[in-house]
Amino acid sequence: YHQATGRRGPFLAVNCATIPPGLAERLLFGAKRGAYSGASESSTGYVQEADGGTLFLDEVADLDSLVQPKLLRLLEEREVMELGGTRPRKVDLRVCAATHKSLRAEVDAGRFREDLYFRIGKPEVRLPALAERPEEIPELLGFGVREVSPGMRMGRAFVEECLRRRWRGNVRELLLDARHAARAAVAAGRNVVEVVDLVQVAAPEIGDRLAPRAQ
């Protein structure tokens, strides 16, 4: 999507859940030299790095509440103020966001600003769980298997077994198991993935089946 729309700048993905609260403002918006103790040099934030392109904020519901007003200003004014700065800088970027939480529920709980929600929460695109789109499973399996061995083929029993599973971890879980099965096939000297090993998953609810195994 980023490439198809002709954006001249980079695509930059940021996982908000992994940003320590005390560093969120500096990492996102940058900082001027001397803005805080130990700031011997100016630093560029993710927003400036994505200028001209797309900034993807993954797990945006986990963004530090103290930074949310500054993100709102960025979206409304298309300008960014570095930490310790005195003048805002205009930026041209597309901001996209994703989360596994309900932003509406986060707003109701007081953890997410309502005005920011209306800026990034609409329009909302819901990605159905993998169990709701089983027709995509064979293609995704093939992608995961070919990452390990480009010439590897998939046996019918392997695909059928994967079609029976719920994949509560969605695409991430499927690709993990596809790669594992492909590596096991390579180790056994085969060029066909014939079985899927369920022992790799730790949680008992992950990897369960939609229907009993065919006898």
Q: pLDDT by residue (tens digit) across 88-136?
A: 889 888 898 999 888 999 999 999 999 999 988 776 777 888 888 999 9
Residue 186 has pLDDT above 60, yes or no: yes
pTM of the predicted protein model: 0.67
Q: Smallest Cα–Cα separation from 97: which of 117, 77, 70, 73?
A: 117
Tell me what pLDDT residue 31 has. Answer: 79
DSSP code for 23: G
ω into 128 cis (within 30 of 0) = no
Distance, CA of 88 to CA of 183 (rounded, Å): 52
More confident residue, 208 or 11: 11
Question: Which residue has tokens 């993990």?
Answer: 176
Percent of the chain scored above 90 by pLDDT? 41
Distance, CA of 79 to CA of 71 (rounded, Å): 10
Distance, CA of 28 to CA of 78 (rounded, Å): 14
More confident residue, 138 or 36: 138
